[in-house]
Amino acid sequence: MSDESVRGSAGARARAQRLSPEERREQLLACAVKVFSERGLGGGNHALVAAEAKVSVPTVFVYFKTHEALVDAVLDEVEQIYLAKMVHAESAEMPALEAILHLSQGLTQTLDTHPAHARLFREWSVCVHSEHWPRYLRLYRKLTRALAKAIERGQRDGSIHGELNAEDEAAILYAGAMALMQMIETGAPADRLNKFQRSMILPVLTLNALPIKAVVQARPADPKRSGRAVKAAY
């Protein structure tokens, strides 16, 4: 072997990234989220993840033994992003209206903060014939229950109409947030987004509620990118 070949091999080895098992799994999972967000839940596989991560296919199988295990791990990541939105909003110290806005905004803001996760979340939410549908329903119930608890808190403090059914209103707010995500994706103008946001929240409020001011930053639709920023201040 020539000196040049030796130097080339050494350089390649030097460029190879050494990771702990935990770091490698995290890297592969990040690549898997990207791959599945681009190919769909049914379109990703170990080979595509390996190509994205620049590792061998057997390496991916070391961490994710089956295709089902790989998809489950990706959905775990998506689920954690959205469940994390619940934690702060469920705090008893957060005013009810603020908690409701925090939860509903949390869905749309992932378009900007976690666009790949948001794309997967939206796909997951309509996979009614998939084996993953029951798991989505469990996530849906957790998210809408968090909204319902915030609404119930508002009913107790007088900021939300007491005669409303909290579970029904939570389902409406959740559906509205999902619709707003679609509007943002298709490039709806800011004034239309603001009007839609207000129409979601205002009907449940009493005169004792704090005034709402919505500021949404709209961007032109771009089919090459799933995420769209939405910034709101209330």
Same domain, 88 and 50: no
Lowest-confidence region among 74-78, 104-108, 135-139: 104-108
Residue 65's pLDDT band (cuts 50, 70, 90): very high
| Residue ending a domain, choose from 11, 46, 65 | 65
Q: For the ranges 9-18, 146-155, 209-218, 222-231, which has the lowest average pLDDT?
A: 222-231
Question: Is 183 buried (19+), middle (13-18) or exposed (0-12) by CB count in 10 A?
Answer: buried
Pull the structure tokens for residue 84. 């994390």
Question: Which of 65, 84, 105 is the C-terminal boundary of a domain?
Answer: 65
Q: Which of 234, 225, 88, 103 is nearest to 176 (CA)?
A: 103
Whether pLDDT at 106 is above 90: no
Q: CATH number of the domain that 8 lies in?
A: 1.10.10.60
Q: What is the rounded average pLDDT of the residues 196-224?
A: 58
Residue type, 110: T
DSSP lists the bridge partners of residue 205 as: 160
- Residue-level length of the chain: 234
List, in order, residues 6 or more apart from 144 with CB less than 8 Å away: 167, 170, 171, 174
Answer whether 204's CB lies under 8 Å from 176's CB. Answer: no
Alpha-carbon span 99 to 172, nearest angstrom: 16
pLDDT at 5: 39
Q: Which residue has the tokens 């559906």?
A: 175
pLDDT digits (tens, 9 = 90+) for 146-178: 999 989 998 998 888 888 899 999 999 999 999
Asked whether the beta carbons of 195 and 178 are under 8 A apart, the reply is no
From 92, 105, 111, select the one nearest 201 (Cα to Cα): 105
- The count of domains in the chain is 2
Task: Give, as one character, the DSSP assignment of residue 214.
Answer: -
Q: Are residues 79 and 192 in the same domain?
A: yes
Q: How far apart are CA 82 and CA 146, in angstroms?
A: 11
Domain membership of residue 39 as a residue range: 1-65
pTM over 0.75: yes
Looking at residue 205, its pLDDT comes to 66
Helices 133-157 and 67-89: crossing angle in degrees, nearest 10, is 0
